[in-house]
Amino acid sequence: MHNLLWLQGASCGGDTISFLNSEQPSALSSFEVLDINLLWHPFLSREQGNDVLQIFENILSGKTKLDILILEGAVPNGPDNTGKFFMFHGRPFRDWLADFCNHAEVVMAVGTCAAFGGVVTGHENINEMSGLQFLHNQKGGLLGSDYVSRNKLPVVNVPGCPSHPDWIVQTMTAVLKGWLHMDDLDEFHRPKVFFSKLAHHGCPRNEYYEFKASAVRYSQQGCLFEFLGCKGTLCESDCNERLWLGRTGSCTRGGFPCIACTSPLFPDKQRPYFSTRKIGDVPVTLPLDVPKAWFVGISGMSKLACPERLKKNAVSSKWIS
Residue 243, pLDDT > 60, answer yes
Q: Which residues of 14-51 are buried (b: 16+ CB within 10 A; e: fewer)?
A: bbbebbeebeeeebeebbeebebeebbbeeeeeeeeee
CATH architecture, range 197-321 = Irregular (4.10)
Tell me the HSE value of 31 on the side-chain side, using a 13 A CA sphere. 12
User: Looking at residue 294, what is its pLDDT?
Assistant: 64
**Rounded Cα distance, 223 and 302, in Å:** 13
Residue 321, pLDDT > 50, answer no
Q: At residue 181, what is the residue type?
A: H
More confident residue, 229 or 282: 229
- Of 116-120, 153-157, 244-248, least confident by mean pLDDT is 244-248
Residue 320, pLDDT > 60, answer no
Q: Rounded to the nearest 5 degrees, what angle is found at the Cα of 171, between the Cα atoms of 101 and 28? A: 95
CB count in 10 Å sphere of residue 237: 28
Residue 245, pLDDT > 90, answer no
User: Looking at residue 319, what is its pLDDT?
Assistant: 52
| pLDDT tens digits for range 29-55 | 999 999 999 999 999 999 999 999 999
Q: What average pLDDT does the segment 293-300 reach? A: 71
Q: What average pLDDT does the segment 224-244 reach? A: 93
User: Looking at residue 318, what is its pLDDT?
Assistant: 64
Q: What average pLDDT does the segment 82-90 reach? A: 94
User: Looking at residue 104, what is its pLDDT?
Assistant: 98
Q: How far is CA 247 from the centre of its chain?
A: 18
- 8 A C-beta contact, residue 111 and residue 1: no
Mean pLDDT of the chain: 92
| pLDDT tens digits for range 164-175 | 999 999 999 999
User: Looking at residue 257, what is its pLDDT?
Assistant: 93
**Rounded Cα distance, 21 and 35, in Å:** 19
> Where are the domains positioned within the chain?
2-195, 197-321
User: Looking at residue 199, what is its pLDDT?
Assistant: 95
Residue 219, pLDDT > 80, answer yes
**Phi, psi at residue 39, to the nearest 5°?**
-65, -45
Choices 1.10.340.30, 3.40.50.2000, 3.40.50.700, 3.40.50.720: CATH for 2-195: 3.40.50.700
Residue 307, pLDDT > 70, answer yes
Can you tell me whether residue 279 is helix, strand or coil?
strand
- Of 26-40, 242-256, 287-301, least confident by mean pLDDT is 287-301
